[in-house]
């Protein structure tokens, strides 16, 4: 099939800048990669080096997968594979449980700093820290609460960024029944506060039921080892414990009022997001041996303590034949072939990557999770003549993601036959898991006979920077925000600059049809898509994603608050694992600003 779009050799403008500043291998100031093609060969050779049989053949196959952007590995893989740099190839980690002591807090801070120094983003659950005003009996001091310590993490991240390291990304989660939940919800209302953090509330099914009933909601914290039992005590499974712990009820609030506060903060300042944590744990393939309370910074990979993200995305725009034509079609056979090779490539990452901490290496190798996803979905739909959000788009997305999911599971089974299963594999409980139980029978039979190499295989990441590298294709599963716009990007010095970018499918259309050709009905922007259509797309794809999805629902500034709240209810009822709705606001601004650029100039 003829490639849809320009070859790598035409890398210029913003894609060249992205490659040059983020992924080009340098020793000091001296470039080792002279072209992007050399970067692809570096990455392919490094990932093939662990192959026991004919690594040169696998290097050639991996190179064929990477060239012309057919498959985009995570940014840390692109930047670090085949270099002498002391970095990790895993984009993100969830860090260990934070011990509720000064030593424990600063040990956790050190682990996070070491991880960010090597290029990894970090996620934390701060629920283990006692609430503001609680007495630390051993030292006779009053606790300052989780949010106060989050500010130290935020400053540390900013300091590491100032050294020229990759921009640190952090996720903080907090239980919806933690006594400091209200302070957490409002923590980013102040401009400039906790800017290096994304925030998500761990929302339980019990809380959603309490909101529906307008019931009281207890805010609780575990009793200390020698703390006398006084007042009302309830049992809760708290982070760091596999069995319920006695927790003291410190106060009660109206569940609906707390939900309203959460929604109002998200409406006004775009945070916190919501992670439906019970659903995450019920659908986790490793429900039988781990409990999850946090995610990576963008939310697409829920992880246990010290878990890691191994990410890559199939670029759908490269599999469209006859783009914009009467016979436009998607090369599904090509996608399936690429999926099998991408699974092998991502599995190899485990065997060549460094880990900032030995605990991370042990936990990551125990599951060998990978997160194979998609990017360029919206542009591929435009090239196919399909409007994003329509029933045809949902049908196409379902077919694409089902093929990727099932192909990835089959490839992982074959890897298990060749290399062995992941260490935490236990056939019977694994096959009984909610997600695995719904897989095609041939996959389940294969797992029963041969096991599987990777506990999880699919995730849909935001892919912002790697999508810019590939010519500003639409990111992940997101619709096109604007066909031309001003975008903030970070340069090699860590400084932010504003550049003009134009959408890949739009550029391609103008090259094919000319500057004056009317746009087809498939050219639709994110703000022209109904929020329920955003949710429908996420729900359609989630059925074939065993990790999770990073998705933002864009709404206009004048969107009614009650309708905004209803979107989160719709997300919960649709079976999603989380929800983020973005409304333009003065606190966060926007990464991408539409601009009035003459259409004939957008491709220059």
Q: Would you name the residues annotated as active-site residues?
A: 296, 298, 300
Contact residues for 240 (Cβ-Cβ < 8 A; gap 6+): 97, 128
Please say whether the dihedral angle defined by the alpha carbons of residues 456, 458, 463 and 469, taken in this order, is positive or negative.
Answer: positive
Give the separation between CA 178 and CA 233, rounded to whole angstroms: 14
Q: Give the closest residue to 404 by CA, choosing from 505, 547, 576, 504.
A: 547
| 3-state SS string for 173-193 | EEECCCCCHHHHHCCCCCCCC
Give the separation between CA 342 and CA 336, rounded to whole angstroms: 10
Find where tokens 């019977």 sit: 428
How are beta strands 245-254 and 170-175 bridged, if at all?
A: unpaired
| 3-state SS string for 115-163 | HHHCCCEEEEEHHHCCCCCCEECCCCEECCCHHHHHHHHHHHHHHHHHC
Contact residues for 370 (Cβ-Cβ < 8 A; gap 6+): 310, 311, 312, 343, 346, 347, 349, 408, 454, 456, 457
Contact residues for 358 (Cβ-Cβ < 8 A; gap 6+): none
Give the separation between CA 415 and CA 446, rounded to whole angstroms: 11
CA 391 to chain centre: 26
């Amino acid at each position: 099939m003829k490639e849809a779009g320009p070859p790598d050799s035409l890398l210029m403008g913003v894609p060249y800048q992205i490659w040059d500043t983020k992924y080009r291998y340098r020793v000091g100031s001296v470039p080792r990669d002279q072209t992007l093609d050399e970067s692809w060969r570096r990455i392919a050779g490094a990932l093939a080096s662990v192959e026991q049989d004919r690594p040169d053949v696998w290097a050639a196959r991996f190179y064929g997968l990477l060239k012309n952007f057919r498959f985009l590995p995570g940014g840390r893989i692109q930047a670090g594979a085949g270099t002498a740099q002391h970095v990790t190839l895993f984009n993100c980690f969830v860090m260990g449980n934070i011990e509720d002591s000064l030593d424990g807090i600063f040990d956790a801070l050190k682990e996070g700093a070491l991880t960010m120094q090597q290029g990894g983003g970090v996620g934390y659950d701060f629920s283990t820290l006692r609430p503001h005003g609680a007495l630390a009996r051993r030292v006779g001091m009053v606790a300052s609460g989780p949010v106060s310590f989050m500010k130290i993490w935020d400053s540390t991240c900013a300091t590491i960024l100032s050294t020229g390291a990759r921009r640190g990304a952090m996720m903080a989660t907090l239980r919806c029944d933690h006594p400091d939940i209200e302070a957490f919800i409002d923590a980013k209302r102040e401009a400039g506060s906790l800017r290096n953090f994304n925030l998500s509330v761990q929302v339980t099914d019990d809380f959603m039921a309490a909101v529906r009933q307008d019931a009281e909601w207890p805010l609780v914290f575990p009793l200390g080892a020698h703390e006398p039992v006084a007042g009302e005590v309830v049992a809760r499974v708290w982070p760091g414990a596999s069995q319920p712990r006695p927790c003291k009820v410190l106060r009660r609030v109206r569940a609906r009022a707390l939900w309203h506060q959460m929604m109002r903060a998200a409406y006004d300042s775009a945070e916190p997001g919501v992670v439906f944590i019970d659903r995450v744990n019920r659908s986790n393939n490793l429900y039988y041996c781990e409990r999850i309370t946090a995610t990576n910074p963008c939310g697409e990979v829920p992880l246990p303590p010290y878990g890691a993200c191994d990410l890559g995305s199939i670029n759908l725009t490269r599999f469209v034949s006859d783009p914009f034509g009467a016979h436009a079609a998607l090369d599904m056979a090509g996608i399936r072939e690429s999926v099998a090779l991408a699974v092998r490539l991502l599995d190899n990452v485990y065997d060549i990557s460094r880990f900032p901490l030995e605990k991370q290496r042990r936990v990551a190798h125990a599951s060998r999770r990978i997160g194979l996803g998609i990017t360029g979905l919206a542009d591929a739909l435009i090239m196919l003549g399909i409007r994003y959000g329509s029933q045809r788009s949902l049908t196409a997305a379902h077919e694409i993601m089902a093929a990727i999911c099932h192909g990835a599971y089959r490839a992982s089974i074959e890897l298990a036959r060749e290399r062995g299963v992941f260490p935490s594999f236990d056939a019977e409980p694994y096959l009984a898991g909610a997600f695995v139980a719904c897989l095609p029978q041939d996959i389940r039979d294969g797992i029963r006979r041969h096991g599987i190499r990777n506990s999880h295989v699919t995730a849909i990441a935001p892919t912002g920077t790697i999508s810019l590298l590939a010519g500003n294709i639409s990111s992940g599963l997101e619709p096109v925000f604007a066909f031309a716009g001003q975008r903030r990007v970070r340069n090699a010095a860590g400084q932010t600059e504003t550049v003009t970018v134009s959408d890949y499918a739009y550029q391609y259309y103008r090259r094919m049809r000319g500057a004056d050709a009317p746009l087809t009905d498939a050219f639709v922007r994110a703000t022209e898509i109904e929020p329920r259509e955003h949710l429908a797309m996420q729900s359609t794809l989630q059925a074939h994603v065993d990790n999770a999805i990073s998705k933002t629902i864009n709404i206009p500034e004048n969107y009614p608050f009650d309708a905004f709240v209803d979107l989160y209810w719709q997300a919960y009822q649709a079976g999603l694992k989380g929800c983020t709705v973005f409304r333009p606001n003065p606190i966060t601004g926007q990464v991408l600003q539409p601009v009035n650029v003459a259409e004939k100039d957008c491709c220059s």
